[in-house]
Structure 1
Amino acid sequence: PLSFAQRRLWFLDGLEGPSATYNVPNAFRLSGPLRVDALRCAFVDVIGRHESLRTVFQEMEGEPRQVVLPVDAVSGGLRVEEVGRDGLDEFLAREAAVPFLLSSDLPIRGVLVRLGELEHVLLVVVHHIAADGWSLGPLMRDLAFAYGARCRGEEPSWAPLPVQYVDYTLWQRELLGSPEDPDSVLRRQLDYWREQLGGLPAVLDLPTDRPRPAIASHQGGQVPFRCSPELYAGLRALARESQATLFMVLQAGLAALLTRMGAGEDVPIGSPIAGRGDAALDDLVGFFVNTLVLRTDTSGDPTFRELLARVRATDLAAYANQDVPFERVVEALNPTRSRSWQPLFQV
């Protein structure tokens, strides 16, 4: 069966149709001599090592299933293209936007762009159903290790992975249990979220610069900024004094800012959490990340330290109940649904 996180993306893929919304692209500039044949072999080695990268998702008797393809069925995955420097950005954007067909395509592909004899760009695109942000570390470490071995004419001699993603999928279902069982982890954590998020505002009221579209476009932008070393040191010191984390300090600051901007005093903030509660999962490529709703109470004109204490208590309780998948929380609370905004939080 699919993990709960995979099932969420599989459902969205069926709802929207194949799209690039959940493509995860990463481009790497490679300088110096490159053995293209060794890199091709290394790419296949990594797909063979991580079952999640050779898994397709097929419906059987009305239920989606993970189908792990055998290693000998993986023959490629890395194309080589010649592209001029002027057209590089456009080419990479176009390649990153090619959708995956989850029922038949490997959820990873690579394109090596040759810019010159000693300069290349490697684009690796993975569908989110097979990998999350944490996965990029083990994926690229394994690719580098395999490339080094192939350059020496050897197969990579890495230590076997303790588990594969399908093992996690079965363990997750066993751990959580049934929502009908009052003693199950799933039921206990769902009860927490029902109480914690009951009466949550449907949409955060913010002075946006344009109206929401009827259907979310998934278009976005980035606004870079720098935090000075002095400010960073001050934030760290405040966190230590308050027995909080830097994340909690920044969350409290964000909640205070949103309240000042007119969002009210009941501020839900969504945050991803790695979802890798066991060290055996650390080196695995897969989709483990979950979403937490961190409800922040800014009422009563608290001092910042008082607000930080509230955030700390809320976050610690949320971390203790992080195993229940976000979509199950949404189902349990059954908020007003819209294709215009995200349920339970929009920031």
Structure 2
Amino acid sequence: MKTSIPRHLPAGTRTVPVTRNQAGRLALARGAERWRKPPCSFGLRLQGEVNPDLLEEVLTHVARRHTALRTTFPDYEPSGSGLLLPTDQVHWNLTRVDLRGIPQPARQRAEDAAFRKVQEPFAPDEFPLFRGSLLRYEEDYVLTVAVDHMVFDGESIQVFLGEFGRFYQQLACGSTADLADDGGGSDFGEFSAFECDWLQSPEAGDALVHWKSVWDGFGPFPPTRIPVRDVEGSGALWRQSLPADVVHARRRRFSGGYLSLPAFAAAAVLAALRDMTGQTEGGVLHPSSRRFTDATQGMIGYLNNRTLLRADTPLGADLYQIAAITRAAMVDALEHQMMPFEVLLDHFAPQLRNRRPDRPYIHLNVQASPVLPSLPGLNASLFWPPQSSALQDIPWISVDLEDGREHMVLTAGYSTGKFEPDLVSELMARVAGHLTG
């Protein structure tokens, strides 16, 4: 249920600072376009004796221990702050949908509706900025979690699952030890304060100099030269499984030093773009972690940054020559990744502030598969909810490479209203070919 925070606040509510990237998302959501990014969503498929009330209790404990999940952003608060509510105001209520005995196609419609509902964008002044659903089938359950990007990023998923498993083990066994909600969790406000101080440092000045040369005449949204269109469309997902050992073996053949999987994947994407378009200078936006300390390693919040990778892709260069360029660009950027993307917009592209991207681009995300929690009495597997509704309105191609033990999953999410499916399929087939040889 959507709830706005009244001006008469519960005792213990306090104002907290926001990061510059959070402030940018707030301005976009409150601006003329009123654009809200779909939430970060993930889930678990559960087999065994599932207790929905226990799941709600576990989720509530996780949310109470991390300040980011207790924060909301009412319109009457300044754009540089949010409200942190006390723990007793936080409760996680699951929407429960029983699909047993429902024949097709009615079951499919009910399932699709449930996934669309849980992945609806949040308004910043809603509380809480998370929701969940529990779908029951004949043989198993699917638990889906959705959290607004204002308070959550991709790396928060692993922290969340770890906390979920720890609390589930304790509560399922009847233990109440270490369940205090007011200690032991993470305080995102500490990161916000650190960023504020860092922006006044000499390192921030050095970072501006570095990123000016990268953005100049190119950023922040790197061109693809892939033909685009403006028609009615829907969200679509291209997907292919790749043998992990083959990809890693090909990556290790690079002779210029250690080549990370993100740098290798970026080279594959840029080589594919060059092959399709003849473009000899390419780029992608990719997330970069700002979890530099032990405290941030276990923090839930929106810490990730968007980073522009710009690289020459000469027509005669092979994949490993391009990989040397992407590797060098990523290494050069390492000491400057703390600089918020929104600050760079203010300095180098102020005309794009509080606006959606003005041209299509590729967003590349490379991550390891999250480690599953151990849940006594249950068999759990990772579940990614279908995102066709979430992808319908995005003006970019979201390329993801998930690194599992035996297989990697390469996907491309996009809107058919912007991109011709055959062109996306051709691009991604080329990317897969570069990764596997």
TM-score bracket for this pair, using the shorter chain length: 0.7 to 0.9
Matched, 1:290 2:313: no
Note the C-alpha offset of 1:297: 0.8
Partners of 1:272 and 1:222 lie apart in 2 by 20
* Normalised TM-score (structure 1): 0.85
- Residue aligned with 1:129, SS: coil
Note the C-alpha offset of 1:241: 5.2
Partners of 2:324 and 2:60 lie apart in 1 by 49
- Residue aligned with 1:105, SS: coil
Partners of 1:275 and 1:254 lie apart in 2 by 24
1:121 aligned residue: 142
Partners of 1:125 and 1:207 lie apart in 2 by 32
1:134 counterpart (151, 155, 159): 155
Partners of 1:207 and 1:75 lie apart in 2 by 46
CA, structure 1 residues 165+261, in 2 after alignment: closer, same or farther (shift >3 Å)? same
CA, structure 1 residues 256+76, in 2 after alignment: closer, same or farther (shift >3 Å)? closer
Matched, 1:313 2:313: no
1:167 counterpart (190, 195, 198): 190
CA, structure 1 residues 111+265, in 2 after alignment: closer, same or farther (shift >3 Å)? same
* 1:135–1:284 Cα contact (<8 Å) kept: yes
Amino acid at match of 1:139: F
1:187 counterpart (205, 219, 227): 205
Amino acid at match of 1:275: R
Note the C-alpha offset of 1:113: 2.5
Q: 1:227-258 CA distances to partner (integer Å, 9 max, x unpaired)?
A: 34563243232236543223222322322221
Matched, 1:255 2:270: yes
CA, structure 1 residues 245+104, in 2 after alignment: closer, same or farther (shift >3 Å)? closer
CA, structure 1 residues 41+190, in 2 after alignment: closer, same or farther (shift >3 Å)? same
Matched, 1:3 2:24: no
CA, structure 1 residues 224+75, in 2 after alignment: closer, same or farther (shift >3 Å)? closer
* 2:186–2:300 Cα contact (<8 Å) kept: no
Amino acid at match of 2:247: Y
* 2:119–2:146 Cα contact (<8 Å) kept: no
Partners of 1:101 and 1:108 lie apart in 2 by 11
CA, structure 1 residues 307+120, in 2 after alignment: closer, same or farther (shift >3 Å)? closer
Amino acid at match of 1:174: D
Partners of 2:361 and 2:202 lie apart in 1 by 24
* 1:100–1:127 Cα contact (<8 Å) kept: yes
Matched, 1:341 2:358: yes
CA, structure 1 residues 303+144, in 2 after alignment: closer, same or farther (shift >3 Å)? closer
Partners of 1:204 and 1:124 lie apart in 2 by 33
Note the C-alpha offset of 1:110: 1.9
1:104 aligned residue: 126
Amino acid at match of 2:294: A
1:41 counterpart (36, 40, 57): 57
* Normalised TM-score (structure 2): 0.69
- Residue aligned with 1:225, SS: strand
CA, structure 1 residues 67+237, in 2 after alignment: closer, same or farther (shift >3 Å)? same
- Residue aligned with 1:224, SS: strand
- Residue aligned with 1:157, SS: coil
- Residue aligned with 1:58, SS: coil
CA, structure 1 residues 102+233, in 2 after alignment: closer, same or farther (shift >3 Å)? closer
Note the C-alpha offset of 1:222: 2.0
Note the C-alpha offset of 1:326: 1.1
- Residue aligned with 1:66, SS: strand
- Residue aligned with 1:320, SS: helix
Amino acid at match of 2:134: L
2:434 aligned residue: none
- With CA pairs under 8 Å and 6+ residues apart, which has the higher RCO, 1 or 2? 2
Q: What does 1:85-96 correspond to in 2, within 5 Å?
A: 86-87=107-108, 88-96=110-118
1:151 aligned residue: 172
Superposed CA RMSD:
2.9
Instruction: Name the structure where helix makes up a greater proportion of residues.
Output: 1
243-252 or 275-284: which moved more? 243-252
- Residue aligned with 1:133, SS: coil
Note the C-alpha offset of 1:203: 6.0
- Residue aligned with 2:236, SS: coil
Note the C-alpha offset of 1:162: 6.8
Structure 2: gaps (5+ residues): 1-16, 363-395, 398-437
Note the C-alpha offset of 1:62: 4.0
Partners of 1:145 and 1:218 lie apart in 2 by 42
Note the C-alpha offset of 1:339: 4.6
Amino acid at match of 1:226: S
129-138 or 57-66: which moved more? 57-66
Partners of 1:318 and 1:171 lie apart in 2 by 20
Partners of 2:177 and 2:278 lie apart in 1 by 54
Partners of 1:3 and 1:39 lie apart in 2 by 31
Amino acid at match of 2:67: E
Partners of 2:83 and 2:77 lie apart in 1 by 14
Partners of 2:361 and 2:135 lie apart in 1 by 42
Note the C-alpha offset of 1:342: 4.7
Amino acid at match of 1:152: C
* 2:223–2:359 Cα contact (<8 Å) kept: no
CA, structure 1 residues 203+272, in 2 after alignment: closer, same or farther (shift >3 Å)? closer
Note the C-alpha offset of 1:296: 0.6
